Amino acid sequence: MSTIEKAMGKLAKQAQANQAPIDVPAAEQAAVPGTEAATTPSKRVDKPVLQIDSAVLKRLGMLSDIRSRETRMLSDEYRGIKRKLLKNAFEPGLIPQNKSNLIMVTSANPGEGKTFTSINLALSLALEKDKTVLLIDSDVLKPTVSKTLGIGQHMGLMEYLLGQTNDVADVIYHTNIPNLRIMPAGMPHHLSNELLASEKMRSLTQELNSRYSDRVVLFDSPPVLGVNETVVLSNFIGQAVVVVEQDSTKMAAIKSAVSQFSEELAIGYVLNKAVHGKTGTYGYGYGYGYGYEEERSA
């Protein structure tokens, strides 16, 4: 073997050695009392594309691509709601631009239809041609978005807040619906309340606004009354949609809930179950009505 051939062989071995994977040390334990040490993945998480079944949406009385009279009515109603949200989000106005595209959907009490509203708003917004929508299940005490849509259990918001990944993209999943992304709640944790009100949650909302400035971010949030973390979360958000159940939600409860929000928060109201019709498995009638205001009630 010539001297040149030996030299070439040596260089080839060095190049191969330089391409060998490098071990990444485990991340430090998350700075949350009572949690176990978490590791930060050295590579992007291999994530599935979440499959949302149109037949399931139709059965639940939600928006779907299966055409029906009820679907058309629902589509028209949510189209009216989302136009106001989009105007507030992307046109200069009274809402600070650093959080105007961050929208929380909540209610005064449980069971008034906030998750039903969150999902339908996300589906309606996903029809926009120049926008994407991220639906975050931030009701970490009783997460229902994944269960309702039948998309299974996946790493999500809790894992990010616990420091098990430092890249928010690891917990944002594409779906089979164009322009719709989902961040699941993740696994339950005994410090869910504290994590939702943490400084890391504030940082997350800021990152979502700056990193995805052309995206609408919807938070399916816990009910307001009795859950202090929802009020804290509202300080990080630009808009709130408060779901009101017709013939059930008391005006005193609504006033008590919205009185706890910041004066900077633009608040809208959606009237749920306004038309009582055939009931789907999820418990909501196919008929639906809404109302929306940008200013607080006097």
Does 48 map to a domain?
Answer: no
Residue-wise pLDDT for 207-258, tens only, equals 999 888 889 999 999 999 987 888 989 999 999 999 998 778 888 998 999 8
Pairwise pLDDT comparison (237 vs 272), residue with the higher score: 237
pLDDT at 288 over 60: no
Give the pLDDT band (50/70/90) at residue 72: confident
Residue 98 lies in a domain: yes
Q: Does residue 244 belong to any structural domain of this protein? A: yes
- Percent of the chain past pLDDT 90, that is, above it, reads 46
Strands (E), the chain: 102-107, 132-137, 173-174, 180-183, 215-220, 239-245, 266-272
Q: Is residue 30 part of a domain?
A: no
Closest to 298 (Cα-Cα) out of 250, 258, 244:
258
| 8-state DSSP, 224 | S
Instruction: Identify the band that residue 274 occupies on the pLDDT scale cut at 50, 70 and 90.
Output: low
Does residue 9 belong to any structural domain of this protein?
no
Identity of the residue numbered 250: K
Give a yes or no: residue 240 inside a domain: yes
Could you tell me which residue, 61 or 273, shows the higher pLDDT? 61
pLDDT at 36: 42
Q: What is the pLDDT of residues 133-144, one digit of tens each?
A: 999 999 988 899
Q: Is residue 32 part of a domain?
A: no
Rounded Cα distance between 85 and 163, Å, is 32
The span from the CA of 289 to the CA of 277, in Å, is 12
229: CATH: 3.40.50.300
Give me the number of domains the chain comprises: 1
d(CA 282, CA 175): 21
Range of the domain at 252: 68-298
The answer to whether residue 44 is domain-embedded is: no
pLDDT tens-digit readout, 10-61: 444 444 444 333 333 333 333 333 344 344 444 556 889 999 999 999 999 8
- pTM for the whole thing? 0.78
Lookup result for tokens 């993209």:
169
Residue 193 confidence (pLDDT)? 81
